[in-house]
Each structure stands twice: as structure tokens, then as C-alpha cells.
């Protein structure tokens, strides 16, 4: 099943990844880390990328006002600032490599080519860079067309709705998304009206109690099919329009593994975040440079019935002052003989 915006979306496999390419994935599921800190960050990256690319946004949440979410999006990094970041990194890499010239073990690593860090020209660049220590400027926000869905607000504005046998919150959200897609012409209606644009949809903490679903509280939830029905219908909406969607989900709270398997099958891409906060890994020297691990459960593969699994299984993330990076974890290098 290929959506209209599908391209060769893949997670870049360099030694240091600075761009998690969300641009071309119709539906991307982000399994939240325990406290939701890092998944929220990736959620914001996805939306920030939409602003920089001039896409329209649709932000849905049951716990946070979408306007507040948007105000906290990371600011894009200017080309000069980016060059400084890259120069800093290059110096760090050079000095690290010099001190490891006389490695006694793992001769393979000694023969690895020097990492070339270049900034491609803006036109050739895929994705953008962001400074997490700064928020997006109000001017840039104002120039963005966006739509909001805040569940508490929706419940009070429209108390009576026709249900379709799904948790009430999900039904309302689907109706809202469908209405925007239709009214704004993302489904191809009004072709002469305006330039084609992409709708970036962000749904926060789907499955949590705040959406009215008890899938996170019970092993045998009351309406076990609500979430999967929602995802199926959403998938249909995305396939029929020029849109892409990121969903964060507190998977660690969902006890029913069968449901998680079905949720994975209904998504194009599934990425899990495991933060080290509060775990024994926080103080483990093997992980000292990182704040958590990234588990790629599923990425789509063109023309195949089975999904692809990333070539790199050992991905970790680190959040420094300005940049959030994803790297291949160099376990053997850190191993103390």
C-alpha cells in the first residue's frame, strides 16, 4: 500500500545521524519512552520540519493545548550556526581518533575511513537542523497554516456526536481530520483552487486514558478494537490524501501484546524509544554518552509484503545542549580490556 507522498524514505545510516527522515513516511508510530520526554522531542521535530517546509499542520492532543505545543517547537538552525556545530564536531572526532591510534583490539575499527563531515548545499540537503535550546520564532509560527484538535475543548463545544462504535475521542478526532482534509482540499477536491500542499498530522499520546481508552489500564480492555479501528480508518484517510502523520503512543503502558502487534501491522513505520532515566543503564559506563536507545521495529519496504528491518540494530540517541543526534552505538570501542 503506497500513499501518494511515498518516496524512498529511510533512516540514514551514517555513523552520526543528524536527520531522522520523517518527510516521506505516511504514517509513523513513535513508541513513547517512559516519561514521554524524548518521544515528545521527536514529535516536535516532525512538526518543526513541517513549518520549515511550508506544510500545513494538524496537531491533536488530549492533554496539552496544541497552541502551547507549537510555541515550544525547536527553532531551525541557520547555516552559519550549523557550520559552527559541524566544525565543533569535526574537531572532537579528530582528537578522539588521534588518541585511539594505538588500539590493541578490534583492528577492523582502526581501518575505518576518517569521517568526512560536510554540509551539503541547502538545495541538496534532505531535511533541516534544529536548535533544541531555542524555540521557533513567533513570526515563523504566524506564517504557518495550522489546525488544532484539543479533546477537552471538542467535548465541550460539541457534546453530541454520532458514534461509530469507537472510543468517543477517536471518533471525534477522525471526523475532525476528515473535515480538514476535505475542506482544505488535501484529498484532491478543488484542484484548481490552490497549490498542492502536504498536511502534517501529529497525534500525541494515542491510547492513553485521556483519549477515553482503557487500553493502557487493563489487560482486557472494554473496547479492545477501538485503537486498531482508529488506526485503520486513519490509514485510509492518509492514503486518500496528501498527508503524513506521526503518532506517539505510551506502549509501555499497553499490557496486551496482541494489540501492540496489530498496531504495528497497521503502521508504516514503528520506532521505539527507550530512555535511560531511572534505569540501571543510566549509570552504566557503556552508555555514558547517551540518554537512550532507539529500536526500529518496522520501516516500510517498497514492493514487498514483509517490512524491512533496519540494517543497524544498535542505535542510541543523545541530547546535547543544542542538538539531538542518533548514532550507531560503538560498544566495542568502549569496551575496557
Residues in contact with other proteins by CB under 8 A are 1-2, 164-165, 174-175, 178, 225, 228-229, 231-233, 235-237, 239-240, 257-258, 261-262, 265-266, 301-306, 308-311, 313
| Least distance between other proteins and beta carbon 125 (Å) | 25
| Least distance between other proteins and beta carbon 302 (Å) | 7
Contact 251, 272 (CB under 8 A): yes
Residue closer to other proteins (CB basis): 70 or 251: 251
Using alpha carbons, list the distances in angstroms from residue 14 to 93, 115, 311, 327, 329: 14, 9, 11, 8, 12
Give the CA radius of gyration of the chain: 21
DSSP strand pairing (292-298 vs 74-76): unpaired
| Least distance between other proteins and beta carbon 215 (Å) | 13
| Least distance between other proteins and beta carbon 303 (Å) | 5
Residue closer to other proteins (CB basis): 44 or 229: 229
CB atoms within 10 A of CB 149: 22
Closest to 21 in 3D by CA, of 127, 123, 121: 127
Task: Give percent helix, percent strand, percent coil of the chain, each to the nearest 5.
Answer: 35, 20, 45
Residue closer to other proteins (CB basis): 48 or 266: 266
Residue closer to other proteins (CB basis): 5 or 310: 310
Strand-pair partners of 59? 148, 202
| Least distance between other proteins and beta carbon 254 (Å) | 12
| Least distance between other proteins and beta carbon 81 (Å) | 35
Residue closer to other proteins (CB basis): 84 or 301: 301
Closest to 22 in 3D by CA, of 130, 120, 166: 130
Residue closer to other proteins (CB basis): 64 or 187: 187
Amino acid at each position: 500500500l503506497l500513499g501518494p507522498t511515498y518516496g524512498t524514505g529511510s533512516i540514514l545510516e551514517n555513523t552520526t545521524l543528524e536527520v531522522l527522515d520523517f518527510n516521506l513516511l505516511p504514517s509513523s508510530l513513535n513508541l513513547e519512552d517512559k516519561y514521554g520526554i524524548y518521544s515528545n522531542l521527536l514529535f516536535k521535530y516532525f512538526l518543526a520540519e513541517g513549518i520549515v517546509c511550508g506544510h500545513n499542520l494538524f496537531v491533536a492532543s488530549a492533554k496539552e493545548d496544541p497552541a502551547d505545543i507549537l510555541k515550544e517547537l525547536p527553532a531551525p538552525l541557520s547555516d552559519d550556526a550549523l557550520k559552527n556545530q559541524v566544525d565543533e564536531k569535526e574537531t572532537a572526532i579528530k582528537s578522539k581518533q588521534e588518541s585511539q591510534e594505538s588500539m590493541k583490539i578490534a583492528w577492523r575499527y582502526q581501518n575505518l575511513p576518517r569521517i568526512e563531515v560536510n554540509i551539503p548545499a541547502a538545495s541538496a540537503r534532505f531535511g533541516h537542523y534544529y536548535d533544541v535550546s531555542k524555540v521557533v520564532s513567533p513570526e515563523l509560527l504566524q506564517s504557518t497554516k495550522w489546525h488544532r484538535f484539543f479533546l477537552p475543548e471538542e467535548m465541550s463545544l460539541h457534546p453530541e456526536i454520532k458514534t461509530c462504535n469507537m472510543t468517543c475521542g477517536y471518533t471525534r478526532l477522525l471526523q475532525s481530520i476528515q473535515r480538514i482534509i476535505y475542506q482544505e482540499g488535501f484529498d484532491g477536491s478543488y484542484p484548481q483552487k490552490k497549490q498542492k500542499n502536504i498536511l502534517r498530522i501529529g497525534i500525541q499520546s494515542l491510547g492513553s486514558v485521556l483519549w477515553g481508552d482503557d487500553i493502557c489500564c487493563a489487560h482486557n480492555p472494554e473496547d479492545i478494537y477501538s485503537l486498531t479501528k482508529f488506526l485503520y480508518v486513519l490509514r485510509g484517510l492518509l492514503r486518500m490524501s496528501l498527508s503524513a502523520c506521526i503518532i506517539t503512543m505510551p506502549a509501555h503502558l499497553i499490557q496486551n501484546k496482541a494489540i501492540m502487534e496489530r498496531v504495528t501491522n497497521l503502521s508504516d513505520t514503528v520506532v521505539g524509544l527507550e530512555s535511560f532515566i531511572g534505569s540501571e543503564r543510566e549509570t552504566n559506563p557503556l552508555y555514558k554518552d547517551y540518554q537512550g536507545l532507539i529500536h526500529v521495529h518496522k520501516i516500510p519496504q517498497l514492493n514487498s509484503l514483509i517490512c524491512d528491518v533496519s540494517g543497524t540494530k544498535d542505535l542510541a540517541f543523545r541530547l546535547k545542549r543544542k542538538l539531538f543526534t542518533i548514532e550507531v552505538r560503538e560498544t566495542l570501542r568502549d569496551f575496557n580490556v
